[in-house]
Structure 1
Amino acid sequence: MLRLKFLLILLYSCGLQWCIGQTVKVMSYNIHHGADREETDRLHEMGSFIKNSGADIIALQEVDSVCTRTKGVDQMKILAAITGMHYAFVRHYAYQGGAYGMGILSRYPILNIRNKRLTLLKGTKSSSTAMIVADIVISKSKKVIMASAHFALDDSSRWVQAQEVVDYLRQEKMPVIFVGDLNAKPEAPEINYLKKYFVDTDTGNVFTFPAPRAERKIDYIFVKKSNLKRVKNYRVFINDLSDHLPVMADISLK
């Protein structure tokens, strides 16, 4: 009996969920600078949707920070206020008096925010774009790395970017979750390359773009192979708030 009590106390003190496998609800959402396909401002509706979705960590692509086209608002700050979450932002490049880039919302504290630059080979305003990478502090003894990218439209850049992502993330000791709008269908070479190192949490190749009647899958949630215990649930939310559909996976980590 004493041994049993000791074991229960030990499990509780180290965080019971992490001892038996933690489930984290992760979302990837291209918010199209807070606008729908008709360029109508839907940012506050997006915030309410995210809050009600139950997601723990949300990676956002196409985020504006004090840009003229979005009336000079800090979109991540607004979404954080609506959801009550921690937030982070990194820029792709300066845009219309502010910045255009990538964000993360999280129920858990966010530390060590990095802006890993990914190569762009053609048709761009600059020679690189951002991959946001951050440590998410789930508990005192457990962190995960959240990384999110928005791959280029051209095949050659995407192939280089996929290799850069793998090279950067594969050596990490902490569990790694990689998500984003990768602008590539599941059969693309760059996606197959990523699958050598990561598990795609969607096994059904559910379409995500364009919203609301999607015709192809280009949005992904990946987990590093050595870190994944199982995917408990994967879903694509059907709405018209952006030009992309948000995707979410319930991930059980080792």
Structure 2
Amino acid sequence: MKNYIIVLLFLICWPVWGQEKGDAAGDTLRLMSYNIRNGRGMDDATDLRRVAEAIREARPDVVAVQEVDSATERSGRVDVSRWLGERVSLYHTYAPAIEFEGGKYGVAVLSREKPLRAYAKPLPGREEARVSLWVEFEGYIFCCTHLSLTEEDRARSLPLLREEAARAGKPVFIAGDWNDTPGSPFIRALGEDFRLLNDTTRGTYPASAPDRCIDYIAGYAGEGEPFTVLSSEVRDEPLASDHRPVVVDVRIGKKAR
């Protein structure tokens, strides 16, 4: 956990110059989730420029990014979250899940608004370690996570996510690749405390011909729903990654309906 804190603080202290601070509280907020497969597209070519363009075109306020390398051999020692942040003029915050090829592999949050603080929490993952990244802003908290391929690990992750969201004291949104489909036991259980915000009838994977939804954006509804969903879409990006980006527009307010 010390390593997570050190990495998070280091990245937040290096914002991208020239950014404007977002004003999410009481206003419209565009949330995005994107599993980028570290830039490897459906054509097996690795090109982070395509990922950056997909993010830029969506014009999000905050993005949950999964499968992100930092200084690995395969990434050419590039800090991918920092590179993307600079490319699309967003702040970048990174949390490693595992050591990989001389660097790290994990999740990131890109944001228009500078984070107030950020921290990482480990999650169950028997095939590989998993992590949730919690980033706090003035009007809300945004969590990015990439859940385990194993059903039991996903089930064990839910109480940890629920507990963290319940103590937040402000609206909480959780986004990521959850490796599960609508109607599964995990997604049904999650619906007891979280509201799924994206249209789960729209497939997100595989990107070339999506036939299932495994990427989600959800809002914590334990104390009511302090947000209103305005729109939801799966972006038409069939090449840049093996997942398509998910985008939701919400308005934050006091227990809005």
- TM-score norm. by structure 2 comes to 0.85
SS class of match (2:187): helix
**Structure showing the higher helix proportion among its residues:** 1
User: 1:68 aligned to 2:73?
Assistant: yes
User: 1:132 aligned to 2:133?
Assistant: yes
For residues 160 and 180 of structure 1, the distance between their equivalents in structure 2, rounded to whole angstroms, comes to 17
Contact 1:86-1:106 at 8 Å conserved across structures? yes
For residues 226 and 209 of structure 2, the distance between their equivalents in structure 1, rounded to whole angstroms, comes to 31
More moved, 159-168 vs 222-231: 222-231
The Cα of 1:16 is off from its aligned counterpart by: 9.8
Aligned pairs (5 A) from 1:1-254: 18=25, 21-120=26-125, 122-124=126-128, 128-137=129-138, 143-225=139-221, 226-239=224-237, 240-254=239-253
Structure 1 stretches of at least 4 aligned residues deviating more than 3 Å after TM superposition:
15-18
For residues 205 and 25 of structure 1, the distance between their equivalents in structure 2, rounded to whole angstroms, comes to 20
**Structure showing the higher strand proportion among its residues:** 1
SS class of match (1:70): coil
Output one character per residue of 1:163-183: Cα deviation in whole Å (capped at 9) or x when no partner: 221122122101101111000
The one-letter code matched in structure 2 to 1:98 is G
The one-letter code matched in structure 2 to 1:232 is L
Distance 1:160 1:40, change over 3 A: same
The Cα of 1:224 is off from its aligned counterpart by: 1.4
For residues 17 and 197 of structure 1, the distance between their equivalents in structure 2, rounded to whole angstroms, comes to 23
The one-letter code matched in structure 1 to 2:183 is E
Structure 2: state its 5+ residue gaps.
Answer: 1-21
SS class of match (2:167): coil
Determine what percentage of the aligned residue pairs are the same residue.
27
For residues 204 and 153 of structure 1, the distance between their equivalents in structure 2, rounded to whole angstroms, comes to 19
Output one character per residue of 1:61-96: Cα deviation in whole Å (capped at 9) or x when no partner: 000001101111111111111111111001001110
For residues 99 and 111 of structure 1, the distance between their equivalents in structure 2, rounded to whole angstroms, comes to 24
For residues 16 and 26 of structure 1, the distance between their equivalents in structure 2, rounded to whole angstroms, comes to 14
SS class of match (1:178): strand
Contact 2:71-2:79 at 8 Å conserved across structures? yes
SS class of match (2:188): helix
The one-letter code matched in structure 2 to 1:209 is Y
Contact 2:200-2:213 at 8 Å conserved across structures? no
Distance 1:244 1:74, change over 3 A: same
Contact 2:42-2:208 at 8 Å conserved across structures? no
RMSD: 1.7
- TM-score norm. by structure 1 comes to 0.86
Contact 1:132-1:149 at 8 Å conserved across structures? yes
More moved, 220-229 vs 86-95: 220-229
SS class of match (2:74): helix
